Amino acid sequence: MYKDYNMNQLTIPLDIEVMIPDDDIAVAVNEMVESIPEAPFKAFEHDVGAS
């Protein structure tokens, strides 16, 4: 099941991006995931059922 990935959806009051150093692997993984085009996943979207 496809679920939308968004690193900016955190609900805690801290700004996590400030706490993660620029040379951390998490930054590289986030950039890689954000670079994936969304078009191929459009076929998996639906308007009924659970998200």
Band of the pLDDT at 2, cuts 50, 70, 90? low
Query: What is the identity of the amino acid at 16?
Result: I
Rounded-to-integer distance, Cα 51 and Cα 44, Å: 11
Predicted confidence at residue 41, as pLDDT, reads 87
For residue 1 the two structure tokens come to 């099941």
Res 28 pLDDT > 60: yes
